[in-house]
A and B are shown apart, each in its own frame.
Chain A
Amino acid sequence: MKSKALTVGVPPHVFQVPTTTHAMWIVSACLLVPILQSAGNDGFRSLLIAAITVGTALGLEFLLSAGTDSRSYSDGSAVASALILCLILPNNINLFMPFIGTIFAIVVIKKSFGGLGSNWMNPAAGAWLFLRFSWPEAFDSALKGSALSMLSSSVSKGMSDPGGSPLALLKVSGWKPGNMDAILTNWLNDTILIPLGAELPGAYTDFMNSPLPGLIVDRGILGFLLVSIVLLSTGIVRWTLPLVYLVSYLAAVRIWGALPYGGHLFGGDMLFALLSGSTLIGAFIFVGNPSTGTKTRTGTIIMAAFAGFLAYWFRFRGGDAYGLIASLTVVNVLAIIARRMEHRAFFNIGRKK
């Protein structure tokens, strides 16, 4: 047997967290789950988009690291960024756009700032903004027929529901839950929820596995719920950030969320807001990523709460059903300023002796 070298090195000699590479590959593996769920009822188009983004990202990383010692293509970050971008794109999008978006994410957002760890905003979120505002018509047409587009359209036509329920408005607009919805809802209510004193209204289970066009993450929402559990249980995402963000966002939705649909104060539908509009990926991937966040626990909590409220504002008050990601990029920018303030306040830059 070939003997391995006995190595020496500086302390510590043991570690308590997995490596960045390990975490990136876990995240990447997890993100495939919602993509697969979405691909299950769109003829594998979601999977094709994932293949384009991942292939482009890996190819770019390989090209950009050619001739250097860097092996950034193998650290998992490019694949993770590509899959995140895939998740926040519509499944019906022109296949040229994921390709262009990935180039923007990797070359402009990630590499031009120095690569992994040096980017000031999430590359996927940057690419999403780039696509959304560069080709707004293509983006909107890809989302035509999606639940949120139908809802926006109903609201703009002046339709409303006295209860402020978005699902009621969707039904009026022509969306019909499938037969399985009634069966699943009854089963869930009878076996789990009613004994616990709760009840799930109809249409939500169908909404969670909808064949309608939409963002891939919304179409694979059940899969993403599993992802969030894995990310929390492995410690890759700390629970504080998503929790504060979701509490802030859902509280705002509960208080004012029914107003745009004709409802009253404290009548907002939190479950609908949670399961649509890329809320969960916002909470667990974008907000949950401390790299683009603040430095301290206090700053983190304030920023996550602000991000939650801003997400509500962009989506419900701004009238952009997909405004959540835009709101998070605003938070990314503010986080840079917040980090400087925190540095002075908490890490005592005036420590000079």
Chain B
Amino acid sequence: MKKYHFPQGGLVYEDEYAPLAISSTIACIPAVLVVPLMQHSGIQAIPVVSVGDTIHEGMVIGRAESKGSSNVHSPIPGRIVRMVRWRMSDGRESDAFVIRLSGSFQKLGKRPELFSWNGLSVHELQRMIAEKGVVETEEPGRPVNELLSHARNSNRRNVLVLNAVIDDPWLASEKVLLAERQAAVAEGVAIAMKVAAISQVLIAVAFNDRKVVEPLVSLIEKFDVKATIVLVGSKYPQRNNRELFIALSAFTRNHSIEYDDFLLFNLSTTAAIFDAARYNQPMLERYISVGGASVKHPAVLRVRIGTRIGDAIAECGGFIEEASRIIIGSPLRGRAVFDLDTPITKTTQAVVALSAEQLGNLESHACISCGNCRTVCPVGLDPERLHKLSVLGRYKEAVDEGAADCHGCSCCAVVCPSRLPLRTTIMLSAERRGGRA
């Protein structure tokens, strides 16, 4: 089978401190959880409970306010002890409930009640997915019901794309989820296709991982859906929308597949769709990768949403050396946080505790024009020049030369020997376009 990939740049990213993608560990449920009311792309959900209220597992505690917003559920039974204002890892501020564990679980440890979704109408399924607060499990966390509704009502030929590309070792959680919940992923795909009125699914997977998804095809086809594997490259950032669409467009062209749009879901999002429709269960937990040189036993954990990252790290044996930086997400694109009480949300994929040695010397030096950045830029930009234009405040020129095309993959900065924040300055130009030029 032919391998499709983006035409230029990219890099091979390996990390010896990432967890092995073999199996997950179910994390202990901590006594206190912090559950933000904004775990999605839109504005925060409206709180429907108050401090002092007793809540049960899976109960709605925040109601979706508007487009982009999603319901928030209590991941544990207990009592709301405080409401705090929390700065999320993406910089946005949100109210969050601090929940103290008490009472009994209604779902955890019990055989799930199965609901037959086949007999439900599209609108009933969509309402169910919305009610259960299902969002994309990676940023920006758009509500899935809105994506499905948009696809169905767009009157365009959509193809569902299951993004199973693992180009970053910190996506080990996705790989483990696929191994452990393959049937859920397959059925989730079928449900999504019914709601979005799509008849074909493309499963994008890196060439190296093709064997992992082969059984998925037959599982999906049990639902009378046509599933096709698209082999793509494994270089980072192949998983990124732009690079993935380049590969998918080439594939569809070669296979005469007619389409207008791709509807893209990752593995854990489809598993969440399955949970909502089949188990009538909201998003209460997720798989995350926890590791880094400062963590004793890097692992893929199944944690309750709202678990504080300090508790997740403790679940992995705690710190073996002082962490110099803690990252939410992959070290390539993730954000540094400074509080171990930062909660894991629906869109958290990884928690990384970097040691001083891993972080290295971060002091920036003058650009030596080595050209490494140009070699790896998947968009074909000249990051060196764009950085210099940005530093000089010539934002408009930078935008004219393609700064707005940068999607922030960080490839340029990863290979910069002068440790220049290329990604940040280029994206800044795009934000401030025309500012001073």
Contact = CB atoms under 8 A, between A and B. Distances in A.
B361 A12 contact: no
B323 interface: yes
The prevalent SS among residues of A at the interface is loop
A117 B367 contact: yes
Given A4-B322, A19-B365, A117-B368, A13 B402 contact: no
Contacts of B380: 346-348
A9 B415 contact: no
A293 interface: yes
A15 B415 contact: yes
A320 interface: no
Contact of A296 (B338, B374, B417): B374
Given A11-B332, A12-B423, A290 B369 contact: yes
B331 A19 contact: no
B419 A15 contact: yes
Interface string B311-353: 0000000000011111100011111111000000000000010
A75 interface: yes
B365 A116 contact: yes
Given A21-B365, A291-B369, A343-B385, A10 B423 contact: yes
A157 interface: no
A14 B414 contact: yes
Contact of B369 (A17, A75, A117): A117
B209 interface: no
Given A17-B372, A343-B382, A347-B401, A12 B331 contact: yes
A115 B372 contact: no
Interface residues of B, number: 54
A19 B332 contact: no
B295 to A, nearest CB: 14
B20 to A, nearest CB: 18
B381 A4 contact: no
Contacts, number: 135
B336 A347 contact: no
A54 to B, nearest CB: 20
A63 interface: no
Nearest to A10: B424
B214 interface: no
B401 A4 contact: no
Contact of B338 (A8, A13, A346): A8
B11 interface: yes
A348 B334 CA distance: 30
A19 B361 contact: yes
Contact of B415 (A3, A6, A17, A75): A17
Nearest to B329: A11
A193 B69 CA distance: 74
Nearest to B352: A13
Contacts of A293: 371
Contacts of B385: 343, 347
A23 interface: yes
Nearest to A296: B374
B268 interface: no
24 contacts: A4-B324, A4-B356, A6-B325, A6-B338, A8-B337, A11-B327, A11-B331, A11-B410, A13-B331, A15-B413, A19-B419, A20-B365, A21-B365, A116-B366, A116-B368, A117-B365, A117-B418, A291-B369, A296-B374, A297-B375, A343-B382, A347-B385, A348-B402, A351-B402
Interface of A: 3-4, 6-23, 75, 114-118, 290-293, 295-297, 343, 346-349, 351-353
Given A7-B359, A13-B359, 12 more contacts: A8-B325, A8-B338, A11-B333, A11-B334, A14-B359, A15-B419, A17-B415, A20-B365, A21-B365, A116-B368, A347-B381, A347-B402
